[in-house]
Chain A
């Protein structure tokens, strides 16, 4: 498994602080007259896709944008809650581009690329400027300036937010920019369309095959470049915080057409989600990490303590994060907080009926804020009841929508009893391998946002997904795409009657026909559940060689069974969500196999990838920098057959160390 010569990340030479600015001033440009003749296809309209489509259209390119939802405004970026990071240092607390860069590399457990991450930190401030200009109503202080809060893995306040709906506000901002271009006719929007394959001609990506989800019709769309902004693949676990429709299909089709898949086993399990309540559960709901600013996480000191949380006295509680990690306390990064919760529950200290939950408690915050309000209003000797009332009001202003959501889902009032939380699949750091230009291993095919692997290493810090999505779309791709398209000005319109389009469309059609013709006994939903169970049990928060080997065998058997026994109702020429789902589940099954292979190959623990065989005596992740300081980029050869390519990671600007938050 030697490093392949095809894996050149194309990181510009020179000191890290000047790589991006030098790149920008030397990248080839495309003149406005030529831009008008170049077509760009953008698949997915979340933060990365909407911002890219709008910005490229503003520059003068002809853009076609696709989403499977009924409107681009529904992309799952909308559900991001807590915030977006930027190295503005508005709080005067010592933040800088370097610190954001450093925190992100360290947070990613030294498995992310320096050049990309530094660029991300550099443009982070521009994102906030852009969003404010576009009318995003971020939270503000009474003086009218922007407010910030803390997130995990950092010791500064650099997170900008809009209550617990930051993703919604940012996406609607990007969406309004996109709709402006749609209104001007510079972007053609195709909603309720699903990309089902990419079309390559002479080694370059030249378009896509999309399916109109209302009529079932297959369509050919040609473009000089194709951008996949299609999000992550957390739904491979069936239960996750992703939306029901979030899927890997676009990325997976690209992978099978030559795009390498980077670090597929790097998945993020978010520590603060509402626990699973029953077998009919269709998805899990996140409780924003911002809650860890004020909430304290604990379990009872005694096993099997069944008293309600608010009746357990202070000295019988184990605030295990504060105990284990005094420097960062409840704000340790997600992978660490998740594993610590699992450790306590596995040891028998879990709470709730399932015993797979820990408490997230706001009593101390209510008390602190209550006293703060009393001081602010010069009230001496306030009663305990008044303190609680005022404190609750402050907590409500900060986290009201999250508390309401918790109450609606669980039927419990978190203002009165501590929340119960447990880790759940949330984000995937892995994704299509891209170089510094965000181009995959297929020329002309790009991946942006969560769909690529590039910036978060083995663990993403909170409030960095929104930052990366918008960085890629607003500020990176508009520059980097020029280096490719400058050579395409003589290409002319892409002919969609080319043999490659005909052939690819036929493959897509054959597969759809096959799905509906099997008429077995098991619904796509049930296959999805079974896949999810295998993945969660054997490739979830903790993994070992034995389990992963079993999982690979089980997934292969599941795939075989799927293609023999799946039952898809309805026809191919109408609105048919069952058929859409069947195709996505088939792709998830193949991806699941690769994730297990990747997890098995990576004989170390790092970030969200925890191999039980590789841990310190204290149960922390034990990296093996000597043998595994590389990106795993998998090339699809044939069914069940992948070749591993390695991109060595080089750290010139950060001293690598064992990650410590103690």
Chain B
């Protein structure tokens, strides 16, 4: 590791049951460019504990960019300045010595703040529970190779399925829309032959749940896709709209 000689100033959102929220200023010395952004927060927290102050709460788990837990809004961008990178994979070499970095939680009505930088993303789970699946009980499957799937369809489904459910799309959107997240799941399953049986009802139910959760509408700005750490494409939103309209025309259900 190169010598830890960066000096960083932080403005961090602090909020709790007893504190409605506001920015606190912190100053950190000895930051190494090889440190990850979250490791920089670990150092901050050690420093706060040392000083008898409560450490900053933030969500994180795998620290390798795949679990989707980390969720910091850094200098006005979810997951910070790099394209296609989660906060946990962001390193301090992406910042300059002496920088002031502003860190906030995801901001959306559907994602209430629990504490500091931690938000409640249960709404995503409920949207999946509404229809983001193929109804196949264990034990009913045919041989996997009895259903050839063109490589292109499998690859496109995989690209949509790469979504990590972090919520950056919602945080990036001026309307706090969840269209990119919802469309990624609808697309994945609509592209595969296994998903055809429930194709219409899935689109209807997931969109209905998305609306019920209080996410905003989509105005095709594209911030969601630009900020998505997995670079999920806007094409999915177009496909979801097609799926939804198609479903609604013949709908008897929702």
Contacts and interface: CB of A to CB of B under 8 A. Distances in A.
Interface of A: 51, 54-55, 58, 69-74, 76, 78-79, 88, 90, 126, 128-135, 137-146, 162-163, 165, 167-169, 172, 175-177, 179-180, 182-183, 189, 191, 214, 241, 243-245, 277-283, 285-286, 404-405, 408-409, 411, 474-475, 478, 523, 525-526, 567, 569-570, 574-578
Contacts of A282: 36, 38-39, 42, 63
A569 B55 contact: yes
Nearest to B92: A280
A135 B150 CA distance: 14
Given A134-B133, A405-B89, A411-B93, A525 B151 contact: no
Contacts of A71: 68, 121-122, 124-125, 165
Interface of B: 1, 4, 16-17, 32, 34-36, 38-39, 42-43, 46, 48-49, 52-55, 57, 59-69, 84-85, 89, 91, 93, 114-115, 118, 120-122, 124-125, 128-145, 147-151, 154-155, 157-158, 161-162, 164-165, 188-189, 192, 194-195
10 contacts: A71-B121, A76-B67, A129-B143, A130-B136, A135-B188, A137-B158, A138-B144, A283-B64, A409-B89, A575-B114
Contact of A128 (B68, B144, B165): B144
Given A88-B144, A282-B63, A408 B130 contact: no
Contacts of A177: 133, 136, 138
A318 B131 CA distance: 54
Which of A51, A55, A69 has the most chain B CB atoms inside 10 A of its CB?
A69
Contacts of A130: 136, 138-139, 141
Contact of A132 (B42, B46, B114, B194): B194
Contact of B39 (A90, A142, A163, A280): A280
Nearest to A172: B161
Contact of B149 (A76, A144, A285, A525): A144
Given A137-B192, A146-B145, A169-B161, A58 B61 contact: no
A345 to B, nearest CB: 18
B149 A140 contact: yes
Contacts of B148: 140, 143-145
| Interface of chain B, main secondary structure | loop
The list of the 9 closest CB pairs from A to B, nearest first, reads A278-B1, A144-B148, A183-B129, A176-B133, A133-B141, A129-B141, A137-B158, A179-B129, A132-B144
A478 B61 CA distance: 30
A574 B115 contact: yes
Contacts, number: 223
A125 B202 CA distance: 29
Given A72-B125, A574-B17, A577-B57, A277 B64 contact: no
A277 to B, nearest CB: 5
Contacts of B136: 130, 133-134, 177
B151 A135 contact: no
Nearest to A76: B62
Contacts of B162: 165, 168
Contacts of B150: 140, 144
B16 to A, nearest CB: 7
Contact of B161 (A137, A179, A575): A137
Given A76-B61, A179-B129, A278-B34, A135 B134 contact: yes
Contacts of B91: 408-409, 411
B111 to A, nearest CB: 11
Contacts of B35: 278, 280
Contacts of A74: 61-62, 67-69
Contacts of A140: 148-151, 154-155
A71 B53 CA distance: 29
Nearest to B16: A574
Nearest to B30: A280
